[in-house]
Structure 1
Amino acid sequence: MNKHPEFLLNKIGNPQDLKKFSLDEMKKLAEEIRTLILEKDSAEGGHLGPDLGIVEATIAYHYVFNAPEDKMVWDVSHQTYPHKMLTGRAYGWLDPDRYEDVTPYTNPDEGPYDYYAVGHTSTSIALATGMARARDLIGGHENIAALIGDGSLTGGMAFEGLNNAAVEKHNLLIVINDNQMSIDENVGGVVTALKKLRDSNGKAADNPFTAMGFDYRYVADGNDIQAMIDAFKATKDVDHPIVLHINTLKGKGYQPAVEHEREHHWVLPFDLKTDKTKIPSSDAPSAKSVAVDFIKDKIKAGENILAINAAIPSVFGLIDIKDNYPEHYKDVGIAEQESVAFAAGAVKEGAKPILFENSTFLQRAYDQLSHDIAANDLPITMIVTGGGISGQSKTHLGIFDNMMIANWPNWQYLAPTTLNELRSMLEWANKQDKHPVAIKMPVLKLPMGKEVSEDYSTIHYDIERGSKVAIIALGDFYHLGEQVRDLLKDKDINASLINPKSASDLDSEALDDLTKDHELVITLEDNQISGGFGQKIASYYGPTKMMVKNFGEKKEYTDNESRESIYKRNGLLPEQIVDEVISVLG
C-alpha cells in the first residue's frame, strides 16, 4: 500500500517526467525522497548517509540528461536510492509491502537505467571509459558519465581509470562526489588534494586532475539543485573528458547522520524519534571481541603488532585500536591490494602485521595475496570476516574465501569452532614465523568452548569417534554437524564428528584411519563447494572405496535471497542432510 499517495514522486514513471517539474517542485521532491529513505532504512536498515547526501545531484542529473540513452555508472552504487526512485522503482520506497522488491545496488535486471551490478568501489571510471570508447567506435553520440565518491577515489582502480580516461578524445564526464567521508574517515593524499580544491573554490594551482589533462569544474554546493543543473548543462555534450568536482553533505536532512557520519553510513533498523537501533546489542564475548582483545594484549605486552585494514575499521571492531593505539593501526583507504602489500612490507622490517579483510572484498586483493605474500612465504596473520552464506547482494557474497586462500601454496587457512579455539589460533599464528596464516572468523555465533593451546603447523583433527558415517564439519558448520550427528542417532547411526580445523591442510592419518570402519564421509562448509574444502577430502579418497558427499553452496551468485532459502535450496538443513545420508547409504 502506498504510504504517500500525495507525493510528487508518484507522478514520475521515468526521468522524462521530471523534466516537467519546476525548481520549487524539485526541491519538494528532494524532501520527499529523503523522507522515504529515512522511513525505509529505519524499518529495514540500509545505507543512509550516502543516499541522503546525493539527492539533489541525482535530481539534477536526470533533469538535464536523457537516461537511459545517456548513461551514468554509479560508484559505489549504494548511493543510488534516489536514482532508483526516479527511474520507475519508487514503489520500493513508497510501499512497505514492496521494500524487498528493489535491490540496494545498481542492478541491470531491474531495467534499462542500471548498467552493472556494482557493489564494490573504484571501478566506475574504468567502466565508463570503456563504454565511451565503444560508443565512439560504433558511431554513437550519447553522454557517458561516472559518479565516484571521494572515498572510492582512494582505491587503485580509480587512478587506473583516471589515467586512461584523461586521454580519451571525446565525451566523458567524471563526477567526483566529495562529501569528505567514506565508510570511515578518509585517509591519505587524496584527502589533502581534494581539500585544497575545496578551500580554493576549485582554483588550487596543484590540481591533480588538470595535471593529468582533464578539463576541471567545481561546484561548491552540490546540494543546490539549481547549481547542479547549471553544472550538468555546462558539461552535457562536451566533446572531451571532464572532471566535475562537487562538494556535498553526507547525511543531509537528518542531523544525527550529519553529526555522526560513521555510525550512519549503513544502519540497522532504528527508531526515527530517538535514532536508537531496534536491534539489541550484546556484551557477550564474540569472535570480533576476542580478536581485538588479543591485539590489545599483545600491544600492552610490547609486541610490534600492526593492525591493518582497508577503510572499514568499525566492521572489524578496530575503533578502539584506532583511537587508543594509533601507532599500531593503519587504515589504507578503500584499497585491499594496498593493504596486503603494506603488510608484506611491514613484516619484512620486523613488524607483526595482523591484516583484516572482509571475505566479500578479498578477491580485490587476490594478486597480492598470491604474488606478494604466498610466493614470498611471508609470515603475516590475516583475519577474514564475513566468510559464509548470507542474504547479501550478489556483489557482497562471502562464499569464495575457502576456494581462494586454501588453494595457494604456503597459506594455512584455519577455521575455529569455538571462541577459545579462535584465541589459540591467533596465538599460534602470531608466534610462528614460517608461513602466512589466515583465520576464518565465524559468521555464526560460537560458544566459548574449552581452553585450547595448540601448534597448527601440522593439522591433527579432533574426532568424536563413531562408525559407518563420518561428519567433517568446518568452522561455523561444526555446530550443524552436531545437529546432524544427533539426528542420525535416531536412525541408529552413531556417526563420527570431526573438527578439521583447517580449510587448506588435511590430516591424512586421520582420514586413512576412517577407512577401517566408515562407509561414508560427509563434509560441511559454510562456503561454495566448488574448489572448496570438501572437494579436497573427496579427492583424497578418490582411489579408495570411501564414499564422499560434499555439502555447501553450489557455484552460483545469489542476490538478496535469504540465508534460510539458500540453505533449503542447497540441502543444508539438518533433516535434509540426514535424508541424503540415508539415501547414499542405500
Structure 2
Amino acid sequence: MAMDLHTITSPSFLKQLDQKQLVELSEDIRQFLIENLSRTGGHIGPNLGVVELTIALHRVFNSPTDKFIWDVGHQSYVHKILTGRASQFDTLRQFKGLCGFPKRNESDHDVWETGHSSTSLSAAMGMAAARDIKKDTNHVIPIIGDGALTGGMAFEALNHIGHEKTNMIVILNDNEMSIAPNVGAMHSVLGRMRTAGKYNKVKDDLEYLLKKIPAVGGKLASTAERLKDSLKYLLVSGMFFEELGFTYLGPINGHDLEELEENLRYAKKMDGPVLLHVITKKGKGYLPAEQDRIGTWHGIGPYKMETGDLVKSSSKAPSWSGLIAETVRKLARTDERIVAITPAMPVGSKLEGFASEFPNRMFDVGIAEQHATTMAAGLATQDMKPFLAIYSTFLQRAYDQVVHDICRQNLNVFIGIDRSGLVGADGETHQGVFDIAFLRHLPNMVIMMPKDENEGQHMVKTAIEYNDGPIALRYPRGNGLGVEMDSDLAALPIGSWEVLKEGKDAVILTFGTTIPMALHAAEQLREQGIQAEVVNARFIKPMDTAMLHQIFGRNVPIVTIEEAVLQGGFGSGVLEFAEENDYRGAIIDRLGIPDQFIEHGDVAELMDEIHLNSDEVVKVIKKRVNASAKAETNV
C-alpha cells in the first residue's frame, strides 16, 4: 500500500521502517516526483537519482542537528519530502510557492542555501569549524556531485579539510553526468574508480600483504618501500582522496539501501574526514530521464508523464540562446578566429551545433567559470575571437577574471551573457539582474542588449567585428518576439541608440525585454493626451551622449527602465551623465529591480510585485507631466 507522503512531518519515522518498507517508500517517492513534476517542471533527473541516498542519510543521521549540505541544491526535493513539505509540491518553483533549492526560511532542515555548484565543501568546513570551537559533536555531511567536484573551490576546500583532519563525511554522488556530460581529468579519475571494485576489500588485502614484507635495512628495505607505493597506486582506486587526507570508502551502490546504511554507519564512527563514493543513476525509475545523455532531463518544464513528451512552448520564435549561438556559428564559417567556450552549459547555451561543426574550436571546460574566462583572455592574446557563452548568474563567479584578465588587458573577448534579467522559476540564485552593475563601471567594457532577435543577430556581428577590447551582449531566457529577420548582417555603430516612438512631453529610455513595456505605456499615455518618446538605449555602455544632450536640452521628464538592479545600473549611468554635464535641474525617475533578492515565480508576477510594469511607468510620467504643467500655470 502506497504511503501518503503528505502525512510526513519529520524524517524520524524512517528509523522505524524495515528494509521492505524502505524500498516501498523509495518507489512511492519516485512516483510522487514523476507525477508532480510533470505538472510543475523542475529538476527531475537529479532527484530521481538520490532517493535511496537521501532516505539512508536521514535514517543514519539526525537532521537538523546533523547538517546536510546539498551542493547546487537542485537535488534536494527528496529531502524536502522527508522533512514535511510534500503537500507544497503543487506550488514548486511557482510564485510564493516551494523553492526548487534549499531555503533556510522554509525549514530548519535546510541549513545552507545554494544554486551555484561547488560551494558545499567550503560551507561544511565553516560549519565543522564552528562545531569544534563550540565543542559540539554533531556530524556535518556535504553531498557533492561529480560534476560539481570539478569546480575550483571544491578542490580548495578538499585541500583544507584534509590538511586540518576535520571530522566530516563527504558524500560524492557520482552519477557520471551533471547538466552536460562531464569533462576533464577528474571525470577520468572517477571513471577509473567506478570500475575498480570495492576499495576497502582491496585495501584490507593490500595491508595484509604489506605486513608480510620484512622490515629490514639496506637495499631490500628501499625496494620494499617502493613496492608498497607502487602497489598502493596500482590497486587502490581511492588514493587520490587518501593523498588529500581523506579516508575513502567505496565505490558503493547508491540504490542499495542496506549497503548505503552500512557504509554511512561505518563512516559515522570514523575520526577525520571521510569521503563516501556513491554511484547513482540520474533519472532512475523514469525511462525518459534514465536514457537522457545530453542533460535534457536535468531541469525541465512540464511534460506528459506517460510518454515523456515535453509540453512545448506555443512560441514560433527562436530561443534567444539558439539565435545567438547559431549566429556565432554562421560567422565562424568565414572567420577562423572565432572559438566558443562554455563552463558546462553547451546544451543550455545551444552550442551543440557549433561543437558539431567546429569540434576543434569548441571548449566545454566543465564547471569552471573562472578558468573559462581567463582561458578566453588567453585566446584573445593570440588574435583569436573567443565567444564566452555564460549565464549572467554564473558570470558573477568570474568577476575578478573579467576585471583583471580581460578588461585590464583590454582583450577582444566577446561575452555572451545568457539568461540576463529575471529567469523565473529558478529564483534568486539564478536571476540575471546584477551583471550591468558589476560590468558597467569597468574600463574598456562595452555592454549592449537588443530589442528583438533581428537586432540580436546584428549585435553578434557587431561583437565579432569589434576589435577594440571586451564586448558583452546580454540576452534573456526564453524565446524572441517572432520578428522578421534580415538576411544580411551588419555591425551597429558602438554607442548608438534609436528612437522607436516620437514624443514631446516625456522620454522613456530602456532596452531589451522592457521595450514592449515602454511602448505599451506610451500608448496608454497617448490615450490620456501625453506624448512620451520611447528610446531603444541598446548600448548600455557607452551611452549615446549626443542623443542624451539633445534629450536633456528639451527639459522634459525622463524615465529609465531596466530589468536589472537599480544601484549602479543603466539609470545610474544616466544620472551620472546629468551630473557630469551639469543638467542638475533634470527630472529623472528610475524603474528597475529594487535593493532585494527576487525569489522564484512567473516573471510577469515578479515584475508586478516590484512595480516594474507599464502601469507604473504611466503613473510616474503622469505625475511628472502634471506637476510640470501645474508649475507653469502658477508662473
Q: TM (normalized to structure 1)?
A: 0.95
Distance 1:335 1:422 in 2: 27
CA separation of 1:512 and 1:299: change in aligned 2, threshold 3 A: closer
Match in the other structure for 1:406: 440
Name the CA shift for 1:558/1:293 in 2 (closer, same or farther; >3 Å): closer
552, 556, 565: which one pairs with 2:596? 556
Q: 1:8 to 1:519 in 2, by over 3 A?
A: closer
Contact 1:187 1:332 (8 Å CA) reproduced: yes
Residues 460 and 35 of structure 1, relative CA distance in 2, 3 Å threshold: closer
Deviation at 1:238, TM superposition (A): 2.2
Matched, 1:394 2:433: no
Deviations 1:293-313 (A, max 9, x none): 222222322523211111111
- Aligned residues, how many? 582
1:382 to 415, 423, 430: 415
Among 42, 52, 55, which residue is 2:51 paired with?
55
Quote the offset at 1:463 in angstroms.
6.0
- Aligned-pair distance for 1:464? 4.2
Q: 1:393 to 1:293 in 2, by over 3 A?
A: closer
- The Cα offsets for residues 542-568 of structure 1, whole Å up to 9 and x where unpaired, read as 332210011111111122243223222
1:507 counterpart residue number: 544
Aligned residue in 2 for 1:69: 65
CA deviation after TM superposition for structure 1 residue 467, in Å: 1.5
Residue number in structure 2 paired with 1:565: 605
1:323 aligns with 2:363: no
Q: Specify the SS of the correspondent of 2:278.
A: strand
> How much has 1:316 moved relative to structure 2?
1.2
User: Displacement of 1:504 after TM fit?
Assistant: 2.0
Contact 2:416 2:474 (C-alpha < 8 Å) held by counterparts:
yes
CA gap 1:289/1:11 in 2 versus in 1, 3 angstroms: closer
Please tell me the residue identity of whatever aligns with 2:604: E
Residue identity in the other structure for 1:91: S
Deviates more, 1:554-563 or 1:366-375: 554-563
CA contact 2:151–2:368 (8 Å) conserved in 1 = yes
Q: Using the alignment, how far apart are the partners of 2:18 and 2:96 within structure 1? A: 32
Quick check: 1:470–1:518 contact (8 Å CA) kept in 2? no
- In structure 1, how many angstroms separate the alpha carbons of the residues matched to 2:93 and 2:111? 26
CA distance in 2, matches of 1:567, 1:421: 24
* Unaligned 5+ runs, structure 1: none
Match of 1:497 in 2: 534
2:218 corresponds in structure 1 to none
Question: For 2:16, what is the secondary structure of its paired residue?
Answer: coil
Q: Secondary structure at the match of 1:263?
A: coil
1:95 Cα deviation from its structure 2 partner = 9.2
Q: CA RMSD in A?
A: 2.2
- 1:399-548 residue pairs with structure 2 within 5 A? 399-443=433-477, 445-448=480-483, 451=486, 453-462=490-499, 464-542=501-579, 543-544=582-583, 545-548=585-588
Q: Is 1:44 matched with 2:81?
A: no
SS of the residue corresponding to residue 497 of structure 1 reads: strand
**Aligned partners of 1:533 and 1:551: how far apart in 2?**
10
Partner of 2:228: none
Q: Tell me, yes or no, if the aligned pair for 2:410 and 2:469 is still in contact at 8 Å.
A: yes
CA drift at 1:314: 1.4
1:272 aligns with 2:312: no
User: Residue 178 of structure 2 is aligned with which of 164, 177, 182?
Assistant: 182
Partner of 1:249: 281
CA distance in 2, matches of 1:189, 1:83: 31
Q: CA deviation at 1:325?
A: 2.2
SS in 2 for 1:565: helix
Specify the SS of the correspondent of 1:506: coil
Structure 2 unaligned regions, length at least 5 = 200-234, 628-635
Q: Per-residue CA shift, 1:509-551, capped at 9, x if unaligned?
A: 2111113324201111111112110111122223322100111
Q: Could you tell me which of 349, 359, 362 is aligned with 2:392?
A: 359
- SS of corresponding position for 2:560: strand
Equivalent AA in structure 1 for residue 253 of structure 2 = D
2:221 matched residue in structure 1: none
Change (3 A) 1:62 1:471: same
After TM superposition, the structure 1 = structure 2 runs for residues 287-306 of structure 1, keeping only pairs within 5 Å, are 287-306=320-339
CA distance in structure 1 between the aligned counterparts of 2:449 and 2:317, rounded to whole angstroms: 21
Distance 1:572 1:480 in 2: 9
- 1:129-140 aligned at under 5 Å gives the runs 129-140=125-136
Residues 150, 368 of structure 2: 8 Å contact kept: yes
Structure-1 separation of matches of 2:374 and 2:362? 15
Deviation at 1:489, TM superposition (A): 1.2
Structure-1 separation of matches of 2:400 and 2:373: 9
In the aligned structure 2, how far is the partner of 1:232 from the partner of 1:100?
36
**Conserved? CA contact 1:219–1:231, under 8 Å:** no
Q: Which moved more, 1:260-269 or 1:36-45?
A: 260-269
Partner of 1:28: 24
Matched, 1:198 2:188: no
Say whether the 8 Å CA contact 2:318–2:482 is kept in structure 1.
no
Paired with 2:24 and 2:593, the residues of 1 have a C-alpha distance of: 46
Residue 281 of structure 1 and its aligned partner are, at CA, apart by: 6.1
Read off the aligned partner of 2:611 and give its amino acid letter.
G
Q: Tell me which amino acid in the other structure corresponds to 2:420.
A: G
Q: What residue in structure 1 maps to residue 212 of structure 2?
A: none
How far apart are 1:460 and its partner, in Å?
4.7
- Asked whether the 8 Å contact 1:167–1:213 carries over to 2, the reply is yes
Quick one: which amino acid aligns to residue 457 of structure 2?
A: R
Name the SS for the 1:398 alignment partner.
coil
Out of 256, 259, 263, the position equivalent to 1:224 is 256
Q: Compare 278-287 and 421-430 and name the one that shifted more.
A: 278-287
Tell me the residue number matched to 2:615. 575
Counterpart Cα distance in 2 of 1:312 and 1:98: 24
What is the CA–CA distance in structure 2 between the aligned matches of 1:37 and 1:96, rounded to whole Å?
11
**Where does 1:257-268 land on structure 2 (aligned, <5 Å)?**
257-261=289-293, 262-268=295-301
Aligned-residue offset at 1:186: 0.3
Q: Deviations over 1:319-343 (max 9, x none)?
A: 1222332112111111111110111
Q: Which residue of 2 aligns with 1:146?
A: 142
**What does residue 81 of structure 2 align with?**
85
CA distance in 2, matches of 1:38, 1:217: 31
Residue 405 of structure 2 corresponds to: 372
Read off the aligned partner of 1:245 and give its amino acid letter.
H
Q: Is the 8 A contact 1:384 1:439 kept in 2?
A: yes
TM-score after normalising by structure 2: 0.88
- Kindly indicate whether the alpha-carbon contact (under 8 Å) linking 2:247 and 2:274 is maintained by their aligned counterparts in 1: yes
| 284 and 222 in structure 1: CA distance in 2 versus 1, 3 angstrom threshold | same
| CA displacement 1:432-481 (0-9 Å, x = unmatched) | 22110000114463353675734433435446442220111112212222
Give SS of 1:368's match: helix
Deviation at 1:576, TM superposition (A): 2.4
* Correspondent of 2:368 among 305, 313, 335: 335
**Identity over aligned residues, as a percent?**
31
- Quote the Cα distance in structure 2 between the aligned partners of 1:468 and 1:66: 65
Report the AA paired with residue 608 of structure 2: K
Cα-to-partner distance string for 1:183-241 (whole Å, 9 max, x where unaligned) = 01000001111011111125454631111121111033111000000010001142211
- Contact kept? 1:91, 1:98, Cα under 8 Å: no
One-letter code aligned to 2:129: R
Q: Given residue 525 of structure 1, which amino acid in structure 2 is its aligned partner?
A: E
Residue 97 of structure 1 deviates from its aligned partner by 13
Question: Match of 1:110, SS?
Answer: coil
